[in-house]
């Protein structure tokens, strides 16, 4: 795939992605957690170089390793448009700051963004067809039915936390996913505050100022999220848990950047946002119950409680003061796009649940390695200097450690599983995991397809 760059020179997506990943902001690290800087977001240049950008992911493919690396790239592209300053001050990080927001990074980000968006999102909702002559009455009936289904449906992710062998680890893995939005809440929404689009612009602003705590920093939703993290001993720095984001959750966050960044998708944004706002209040009330059950009184649930209250209003406002007035005023095109936004977000919600529940349900265990496979699989070697990475297995497989001791990282908190020489661990298809050698150790391991029943 080629793009037209400055001075009309054709530039390949691959070349621009390669330029981006070579930047210091995206350099690899040996640490399984990103240190206290908002400007360091490791990208795996090798895996990105193998992506065929002109062959979009399928909807199911949003759960894959290709989705993981492509969505990390896309998130960086979007977030380099938003301002991050280190909580401890800029001193000593000036070079990181200027490189992250530098002209070269900006240029390559702008060049590849449409292709990466297309790769990630073109198939989203492709199995949903919107047929027939829709009008505002039908739209209202559908959005109310979709909200009712979500509000009164099961909450399998919360149930998975409650039933997990280690509920705290599971609860914190979900907080890590929510941090994608929680620590920068309403940044995507802010992209639609400008312009001139009538009374609905003021309705968006009303919701936005609630998100921003009416200018009171301590009441800002992202501040409440920070306090939630702090109360359970989690990092409050954006992207500290960079390696533990699940691909569909990054995609869900990226979706809202995509539909706010691309103005022609404004109605999709409103459809998706209104649907979510109208379902949040009971969802967050249920989260308070689950997290109280896990942590007792020690957790600061004001983030959940604030949404359980204010989103009763935001849901009504987003549907009756935004979605339906926009549909009445702007006609058929708007109605179909609003519907598409609702269906896109419902599809992402299904993927988010499947992705998270799969990860929470996996509890890796050490077993004795199968020596019968010796010599059949090409061994890999890593040492303490090897960059850390997490990836998604594309099939059930077994990681066998031949020499040294490996750390298997599979959740944002709770520590890794140690796998010694002669031991193995099974990694099911679709599960996020990363391997690391202990200090001073060199480990050799193999990845092989899991045997049936193993």
Partner 1 sequence: MSARVRVELEWPRHNAVRAGDETYFFLERAGSVHLIHSRCPHRGGPLHLGEIEAERLRCPWHGSTFRVDRLCDRAVPTIQRGSSVVAYLPADAGEAVPVQQIVFAS
Please give the residues from 72 up to 111 whose contact with partner 1 meets the rule CB under 8 A: none
Distance CA 94, CA 100 (A): 10
Residue from 339, 392, 402, 450 in contact with partner 1 (CB under 8 A): 339
3-state SS, 166-232, equals CHHHHHHHHHHHHHHHHCCCCHHHHCCCCCCCCHHHHHHHHHHHHHCHHHCHHHCHHHHHHHHHHHC
**Hey, what's the torsion of the CAs at 124, 130, 136, 140, to 10 degrees?**
-60
CB atoms within 10 A of CB 426: 18
Smallest distance from partner 1 to CB 273, Å: 19
Residue from 35, 46, 60, 127 in contact with partner 1 (CB under 8 A): 127
Which residues is 96 bridged to in the sheet? none
Ramachandran region, residue 451 (left: φ > 0; alpha: ψ -120 to 50; beta: rest)? beta
Any contact of residue 130 with partner 1 (CB under 8 A)? yes
Any contact of residue 138 with partner 1 (CB under 8 A)? yes
**What separation in angstroms does the CA of 318 have from each of 66, 143, 168, 392?**
34, 11, 34, 36
**What separation in angstroms does the CA of 451 have from each of 298, 394, 396, 448?**
44, 15, 9, 9
Residue from 131, 264, 368, 376 in contact with partner 1 (CB under 8 A): 131
Residue from 99, 140, 166, 396 in contact with partner 1 (CB under 8 A): 140
Q: Site for partner 1 (CB under 8 A): how many residues?
A: 18
Kindly state the tokens that stand for 84: 């991050």
Residue from 91, 129, 217, 440 in contact with partner 1 (CB under 8 A): 129
Kindly state the tokens that stand for 143: 């959005």
| CB within 8 Å of 141: residues ≥ 6 apart | none
Any contact of residue 372 with partner 1 (CB under 8 A)? no
Site stretch for partner 1 (CB under 8 A), options 36-44, 127-135, 280-288, 371-379: 127-135
Any contact of residue 353 with partner 1 (CB under 8 A)? no
Smallest distance from partner 1 to CB 319, Å: 13
Kindly state the tokens that stand for 71: 């969505």
Smallest distance from partner 1 to CB 125, Å: 9
Please give the residues from 143 up to 172 whose contact with partner 1 meets the rule CB under 8 A: 144-145
Residue pair 61/81 in contact by the 8 Å Cβ criterion: no
Nearer to partner 1, 229 or 335 (CB): 335
Distance CA 114, CA 26 (A): 20
Any contact of residue 137 with partner 1 (CB under 8 A)? yes
Smallest distance from partner 1 to CB 343, Å: 7
Element (H, E) at 420: strand 417-420
Residue from 1, 90, 141, 384 in contact with partner 1 (CB under 8 A): 141
Nearer to partner 1, 84 or 275 (CB): 275
Residue from 6, 10, 132, 195 in contact with partner 1 (CB under 8 A): 132
Any contact of residue 316 with partner 1 (CB under 8 A)? no
Residue pair 399/408 in contact by the 8 Å Cβ criterion: yes
Any contact of residue 60 with partner 1 (CB under 8 A)? no
Smallest distance from partner 1 to CB 130, Å: 6
Smallest distance from partner 1 to CB 142, Å: 6
Q: What are phi and psi of 52, to 5 degrees?
A: -95, 100
Residue from 97, 101, 134, 320 in contact with partner 1 (CB under 8 A): 134
Site stretch for partner 1 (CB under 8 A), options 47-55, 140-148, 206-214, 321-329: 140-148
Residues that bind partner 1 (CB under 8 A): 127-135, 137-138, 140-142, 144-145, 339, 343
């Amino acid at each position: 795939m080629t793009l037209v760059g400055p001075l009309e020179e054709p530039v390949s997506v691959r070349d621009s992605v390669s330029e981006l990943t070579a930047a210091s902001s995206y350099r690899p690290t040996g640490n399984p957690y990103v240190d206290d800087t908002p400007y360091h977001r490791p990208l795996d240049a090798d895996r990105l170089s193998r992506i065929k950008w002109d062959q979009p992911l399928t909807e199911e493919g949003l759960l894959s390793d290709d989705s993981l690396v492509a969505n990390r790239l896309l998130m960086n592209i979007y977030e380099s448009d938003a301002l991050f300053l280190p909580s401890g001050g800029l001193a000593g990080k000036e070079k990181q700051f200027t490189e992250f927001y530098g002209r070269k990074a900006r240029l390559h980000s702008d060049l590849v963004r449409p292709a990466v968006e297309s790769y990630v999102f073109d198939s989203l909702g492709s199995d949903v067809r919107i047929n027939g002559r829709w009008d505002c009455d039908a739209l209202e009936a559908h959005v109310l039915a979709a909200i009712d289904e979500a509000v009164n449906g099961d909450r399998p992710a919360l149930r998975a936390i409650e039933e997990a062998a280690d509920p705290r680890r599971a609860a914190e893995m979900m907080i890590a996913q929510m941090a994608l939005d929680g620590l920068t809440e309403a940044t995507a929404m802010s992209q639609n505050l400008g312009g001139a689009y009538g009374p609905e612009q003021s309705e968006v602003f009303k919701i936005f100022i609630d998100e921003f705590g009416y200018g009171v920093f301590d009441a800002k939703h992202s501040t409440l999220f920070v306090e939630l993290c702090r109360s359970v001993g989690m990092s409050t720095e954006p992207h500290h848990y960079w390696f533990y984001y699940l691909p569909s959750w990054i995609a869900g966050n990226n979706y809202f950047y995509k539909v706010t960044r691309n103005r022609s998708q404004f109605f999709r944004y409103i459809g998706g946002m209104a649907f979510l706002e109208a379902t949040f209040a009971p969802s967050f009330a249920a989260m308070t119950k689950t997290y109280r059950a896990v942590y007792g009184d020690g957790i600061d649930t004001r983030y959940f409680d604030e949404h359980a209250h204010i989103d009763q209003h935001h849901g009504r406002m987003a549907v009756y003061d935004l979605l339906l007035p926009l549909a009445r005023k702007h006609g058929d095109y708007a109605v179909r796009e609003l519907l598409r936004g609702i269906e896109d977000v419902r599809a992402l919600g299904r993927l988010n649940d499947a992705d998270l529940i799969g990860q929470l349900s996996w509890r890796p265990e050490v077993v004795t390695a199968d020596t019968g496979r010796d010599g059949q699989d090409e061994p890999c070697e890593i040492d303490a200097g090897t960059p850390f990475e997490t990836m998604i297995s594309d099939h059930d497989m077994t990681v066998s450690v031949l020499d040294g001791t490996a750390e298997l990282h599979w959740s944002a908190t709770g520590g890794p599983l140690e796998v010694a020489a002669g031991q193995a661990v099974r990694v099911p298809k679709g599960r996020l995991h990363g391997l690391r050698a202990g200090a001073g150790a060199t480990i050799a391991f193999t990845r092989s397809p899991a045997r049936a029943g193993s």
